[in-house]
Structure formats: structure tokens, C-alpha cells
Amino acid sequence: MYHTDGKENTCTLQGYLIGAGPSEQILDRSVRKIINGIAFASKIISREVGRISLSDLLGEAGGTNVQGETVQKLDIYSEKIICDAIEKTSSVCCMVSEESEDILSFKDVAKKGDYVLLFDPLDGSSNIDVNISTGTIFSIQKRVTPQGTGTIEDCLQPGSSQVAAGYVLYGASTMLILTLGRGVVGFTLDTSIGEFILSHPRITLGEYPGRAYSVNEGNYPHWSESQKCFIRTLKGLEGGEVYCGTSRYVGSLVADFHRTLFKGGIFAYPADSKNPNGKLRLLYEASPVAMICEQAGGKASTGEGSILDVVPTDLHCRTPVYVGSSSLVDLADSFLSS
Ligand code: AHM
Ligand code: MG
């Protein structure tokens, strides 16, 4: 990564986290270790994603997860790599992963950890066999119980209390997007030196012209009338302004949200008659994405209120999701909460 004056950008993720970067934040050592652990694991996952067609990690693992979805070998591999990296930090009292029904904890080190890590090891993995972007999503919460191995109470906290959230996008390049609750920054993996380098010091989600809406419109027949009317209104089919003249949908949350974060617009995964609470999981998909979105100046709603205010009822509970430019999320709310 080069500046226009030819100087090389040398702010690494590690440097940023210890306050050597432009943020000058003093961050709890344990949070730093967890983020570094995820970054390390993601480099290995990125390597495997990049050569998946040549690898025996391609294909289904031969089972379904707690949500009844097909599990890929790379889902299991990614979860294991992340768990191994996080165990070494001795910083978490327990973890929640999309691929595991129950709370995960490490026998010997769980009692030492002050934090809970909630993560989706490889989001969008159904796209892996067609070389489409996937991602790792993570959320870090401070434990609420005083000591011992973490409990369900430590895991079921609303998004508003997240200490940090982020995702790694395995795309044309691998990027780590992070919020520590004071804005959003982005790092790009320089594979020649194996380091995440600060490439986007301040990411803001604007109200750009030519904005896109991003939703699986194949679900249209299953949507409520208000949801149908909202999408028709975005397109100008209800007689007013055309809010979104373009549609973009990858089917990988990290990729669809990343585009929305950088270019404006709205991403939605609404409730429908097949999925009354939508498809996306609150703890390790919706909440971290919502925190990033709001920290970048956008909004994140269930259609009836802020995603960050939703109190989880179980580890894998789902929520409808509307994230993106504030004006468009407000418009969604005006249809859906009526
Ligand atoms: P996954 O966690 O099993 O990969 O499922 C979540 C993914 C998201 O990445 C994406 O937004 C959504 O599922 C796409 O669902 P659909 O194929 O119904 O549009
Ligand atoms: Mg997922």
C-alpha cells in the first residue's frame, strides 16, 4: 500500500491496537489479544479460501448445524482454527460460534478470561465452491458474571454493550474491518509480508447518489405487504422518488454489507413467512454488523427498532436486518413499524 507521495504505509493492525496507530486508543490487553488472535486465524482461513478448489477442504462436511443448514468442511476448519488461536490468548471465558449448538469454553484457561467471543467462522460458505467472497464475523462482549467459566448470561447481551466488533472479508483482497466503539477502520492483508496494514483510517457510510438496495428478492412472494411496499417504494414504483435505482446481491452478508458500507444504500434480510424472524443470527451476524454500521454513521434496524437494543433470547436467535444509509433505514422503519 503506497501513499501518493511514494511513502509506504507501515501502520500494522498490531501497531494500531497498541496505540501506535492514528487512533491513540489505549485498549485492554485482553481485547487486543483476541483481535490479534482472530487476525492470525483469518490469515490461515484466507490462505485456504484462496486455494479451495485445489484442496480437500472443498465440499460438504456431511451434516447440518443447529439451524439445520448444510455445513461445509471449511466451516468446521475455520471454527477450529479460530478456537485454537483464541485459546492461546487466555482472554475469553467462553465463546459462541454459528457452527456449535452450545457455548464453547476451554477447560484450562476459561476461568482467566474477562471476555466473550461470538463469531461466525465462515459466513456465506455456501458460496465457497463458486469462488465468491465469504467472511469471518466477530463480536466481543465483556463478561457479566464475576468469575469462573462463562455462562449463558455472559453470552446473551444486547449489541449495545459490545466492546468491539468486526469482520474479515475474503474477497479479491482480504480485509479486516474493525470498530472499537470510536469509528470504523479497515486493514488490508499484504500477503507478501503477512500483515494487516491500515488502509482505511476512517470509514464513513454516506448518503451517496446511485445507491443500491441489496436483498434476496426471490423471497418477495413470502414477504409481508409492508415489506413488499417498502421495496416497491425504493424503486419508485409507488409513484414517488426513486430512492435506489440499482440492485446488488451476492448472498454473502459480509460482501453485501461491505459494499453497502463503502458505497451507501441499504442491505436487508427481512422477516418472511418461511422465516418469521428473518435468517440472520443476532449474536454473531446482525449485532456486529449493526455496531460497525452505526459507528460509520449509518443505521441498523430490525424494522421495529435498533438492532443494538435487542436482548437475545438464545444463542442462535435470529432477527430481521435493515442496515445502511440512515435515510433509507428510516424509510424501512416507516413502512415496517406501521
Ligand atoms: P450462513 O451463515 O449459513 O452462511 O448464512 C448466512 C448467509 C449470509 O451471508 C447471507 O446474507 C444470507 O445467508 C443469504 O441468504 P439467502 O441465500 O437466503 O439469500
Ligand atoms: Mg453466517
Residue type, 189: L
Is 60 exceeded by the pLDDT of residue 20? no
- pLDDT confidence of residue 2: 46
Q: What CATH number is given for 212-336 in this structure? A: 3.40.190.80
Interval 50-63: pLDDT, tens: 998 888 877 777 76
Is 70 exceeded by the pLDDT of residue 28? yes
Distance of CA 14 to CAs 10, 22, 112, 197, 207, Å? 11, 12, 22, 9, 32
Q: Does residue 99 have its Cβ closer than 6 Å to ligand 1?
A: no
- pLDDT band for position 7 (cuts 50, 70, 90): low
Report the alpha-carbon distance of residue 5 to residue 171 in Å, rounded.
Answer: 27
143 neighbors 115 (Cβ within 8 angstroms): yes
- Under DSSP, the state recorded for 2 is B
Phi, then psi, of 190 in degrees rounded to 5: -90, 105
Nearest-CA residue for ligand 1 atom 17 is: 251
- pLDDT band for position 194 (cuts 50, 70, 90): very high
Ligand 1 atom nearest the C-alpha of 251 is: 14
Half-sphere exposure of 239 (CA within 13 A, CB side): 0
What is the location of CATH 3.40.190.80 in the chain?
212-336
What is the location of CATH 3.30.540.10 in the chain?
2-202
Report the alpha-carbon distance of residue 259 to residue 167 in Å, rounded.
Answer: 13
Interval 210-266: pLDDT, tens: 689 999 999 999 999 999 999 999 999 999 889 998 999 999 999 999 999 999 999
Q: Does residue 75 have its Cβ closer than 6 Å to ligand 1?
A: no
Report the alpha-carbon distance of residue 30 to residue 17 in Å, rounded.
Answer: 11
Centre of ligand 1 to C-alpha 126, Å, is: 8
Q: Does residue 252 have its Cβ closer than 6 Å to ligand 1?
A: yes
Q: Does residue 281 have its Cβ closer than 6 Å to ligand 1?
A: no
289 neighbors 261 (Cβ within 8 angstroms): no
Q: Strand pairing partners for 134?
A: 170
Ligand 1 atom nearest the C-alpha of 269 is: 11
Interval 262-309: pLDDT, tens: 999 999 999 999 999 999 999 999 999 999 999 999 999 999 999 999
Q: Which fold has domain 2-202?
A: Fructose-1,6-Bisphosphatase; Chain A, domain 1 (3.30.540)
Phi-psi region of 305 (alpha: psi -120 to 50; beta: other; left: phi over 0): left
Ligand 1 atom nearest the C-alpha of 98 is: 2
Q: Is 336 helix (H, G, I), strand (E, B) or coil?
A: helix
Phi, then psi, of 276 in degrees rounded to 5: -60, -20
Interval 54-108: pLDDT, tens: 888 777 777 676 777 777 889 899 999 999 999 999 999 999 999 999 999 888 7
- pLDDT band for position 209 (cuts 50, 70, 90): low
- pLDDT band for position 192 (cuts 50, 70, 90): very high
pTM of the model: 0.94
Ligand 1 atom nearest the C-alpha of 218 is: 19
